[in-house]
Chains A and B, each alone.
Chain A
């Protein structure tokens, strides 16, 4: 029944638009949300680009004005997939119309924008999610479930690194367009919270390591004081030769550990200290493709691996299922509050690197600014 169509209006025609559209098109086959989903309209500043992308993904109409998408009556949900500088205004306009929004990461250019958007989402009372898609990798969902269950004990260490080399080559396939490494790789800042950790203070260094282009950092390293006493680190680079998509997330607790690497994304390595008593302690190499693993039952029988694109399917399913049900998104999905929390940590990292001192997270969330992240 066509009247039942849930319309997703898309803002932006970059390569990430294809990832989201592929997921939306996959939903009925893999993870139905209770209503048919369509893409009635797509906006991009360049009309030819918009038309080409619309033809690729099957959007019904195009426009060069994001307002037409946000205000279109056939659009029930807005996907803001534009550059970060264009996130806030369009997102807040959609929220003001009571339309749920999925906004790509980083949520805003800084914590102030993110805070504004999070406030707007709360005021609108609709689902508003940040595009931290790696939360939806089954292995990382499993890691979160294990960590939050207490099976690994209290967090002693958290380490995350996101290393790529796309900006190290003379003619990058994927120009960084002046984006900041700290905020562009906000995924790893988000992962800290996702698996149960909170930053208390950071000491960071950041550097521009490419010859030309805007004066922004290409890489950073941050040491993190964790709430509760543990210590951790975050590192990201787009000029680390040889690494294409090395996103490593590791947690060591008082009772066990896990580690995961995006270059082998279906596997989670889990260690339980209790195993050592029998002489068979060691990291379990868990191939996260079983029916009792998150999301997997929707796909294939055990052993049939999933790819990067599956994260968007899971992200869209959980988002739209909440929209259809009229309920808040589940706790594992990144809300705008989570987007703000990551922005706060990123800003603390940038402040520490700039000022050469330890920066406390509380400095980034002054009480007079209103409600901060939980």
Chain B
């Protein structure tokens, strides 16, 4: 393991990519030491790099980075960076992660880890060889409600899990005027909505129910060309980037929506659906699990509660609406008013994730939600794409040598 650096109480962070998700991570990193008071490591925001200099400067000014850079190499090679956080599109994250591992830096990579399982496996291998910490930023498994459901399942409260329904519906792509950003381009994103938000469903499903064995998938593209974006387009909707000069269109080569029927190694099955053309659904993630004794249900639009149905008293059998409370893992630190009924929200789950990563690094141990999970998440998405192309049920195949 790499030494942490001159300031043993600090973990110095360098970020590559200054887009939306980098801002979310920055907010979590700023907040996490104030919420998780027992952390052995305190993050320090050292440098952020982006080819869009104004974006990097804005992020640095907002969240308090010491400096900005234009080139990712300046982050990966910096002497005063202990951990590199890769927040570029997946195709571009690869060189950052490989470079960081080669330089002996710890790495956290935004999901999806790779554009394919092979790609992801290469990153895992590099980090394992270098002996650095690797964490996959797939934040939803860190939501205290999702962790509470995980613990109910692990404790046998729901019995044997028989099925899972997972959907992630969004509408950021519903408007055909949204420009041809990286998320609509296979060479940068590795795919469409399946690898973007379907990845979260796979990660949560694996967290809750276990490994996925087979996939029957389908995908659909409704908007086949989009306006080319301006140079400064940012965000999911390319804010402010369309309309300048002559309008040019470019082809969309990835799917807008995808669905899959999967089998788990346990014998359970799962139903997945995701779309970015679902009008009215901004960021609607829902997870339902059904076991032999009970069921649980979580909806990101109500992130701080979950529904659970357990074998109950005669006459009052029904779903309990459970508010995330201090008895749930990771929740006590996030409920800053000390009691349930006070919301945690999206930032809270990101803080919970970073608290675990910082603790794991301080203790010199791996975390769950590492690049091994990324390889497996990617492998399921690969199978979905293969199945959608072939029209048949497809096994999930891990790259050779996957631990």
Residues of A in contact with B (beta carbons under 8 Å apart) = 142, 145-146, 268-270, 272, 275, 278-287, 290, 292-293
Contacts and interface: CB of A to CB of B under 8 A. Distances in A.
Contacts of A270: 316, 318
B325 interface: yes
A280 B318 contact: no
Contacts of B315: 142, 145-146, 286, 290, 292-293
Interface string B309-331: 01011111111111101011000
A281 B307 CA distance: 10
Contacts of B325: 279, 281
A280 B308 contact: yes
Contacts of B310: 280
A149 to B, nearest CB: 10
A284 B152 contact: no
Interface in B308-356: 308, 310, 312-323, 325, 327-328
B327 A292 contact: no
B148 interface: yes
B321 A285 contact: yes
B309 to A, nearest CB: 8
Given A269-B321, A280-B308, 12 more contacts: A146-B315, A270-B316, A272-B316, A279-B151, A282-B305, A284-B318, A284-B320, A285-B318, A286-B317, A286-B318, A287-B318, A290-B315
B316 A282 contact: no
A168 B60 CA distance: 55
A282 B322 contact: yes
A287 B312 CA distance: 13
Interface of B: 148, 151-152, 157, 305, 307-308, 310, 312-323, 325, 327-328
B319 to A, nearest CB: 5
A284 B314 contact: no
A138 to B, nearest CB: 11
Contacts of A272: 313, 316
18 contacts: A142-B315, A272-B313, A272-B316, A279-B151, A280-B152, A280-B157, A280-B310, A281-B320, A282-B308, A283-B320, A284-B312, A284-B317, A284-B318, A284-B320, A285-B319, A285-B320, A286-B318, A287-B318
A287 B316 CA distance: 8
Given A280-B308, A282-B308, A285-B307, A275 B316 contact: no
A292 B316 CA distance: 10
A287 B320 CA distance: 12
Q: With a 10 A CB-CB cut-off, give which of B157, B312, B315, B317 has the most chain A CB atoms.
A: B315
A286 B308 contact: no
Nearest to B306: A282
Given A284-B312, A285-B307, A279 B318 contact: no
B370 to A, nearest CB: 27
Contact of B321 (A146, A282, A292, A293): A282
CB-CB nearest 8 A-B residue pairs: A286-B318, A282-B322, A282-B320, A284-B318, A279-B327, A285-B318, A282-B321, A285-B319
A208 to B, nearest CB: 38
A282 B305 CA distance: 9
A279 B316 contact: no
A145, A146, A279, A293 pick with most chain B CB within 10 angstroms? A279
A305 B313 CA distance: 21
A290 B321 contact: no
B323 A282 contact: yes
Contacts of A268: 316
Contacts of A287: 318
Contacts of B317: 284, 286, 290
Most chain B CB within 10 A, of A281, A282, A283, A293, is at: A282
Nearest to B314: A292
B147 to A, nearest CB: 11
Contacts of B327: 279
A275 B318 contact: no
A278 B312 CA distance: 13
Contacts of B152: 280
A42 B254 CA distance: 72
Contacts of A275: 320
Contacts of B328: 279
A169 B313 CA distance: 45
Contacts of B319: 284-285
B252 to A, nearest CB: 42
Contacts of A286: 315-318
Nearest to A283: B321
Contacts of B321: 269, 282-283, 285
Contacts of A281: 320, 322, 325
B312 to A, nearest CB: 7
Nearest to B320: A282
B343 to A, nearest CB: 16
B290 to A, nearest CB: 16
A286 B309 CA distance: 10
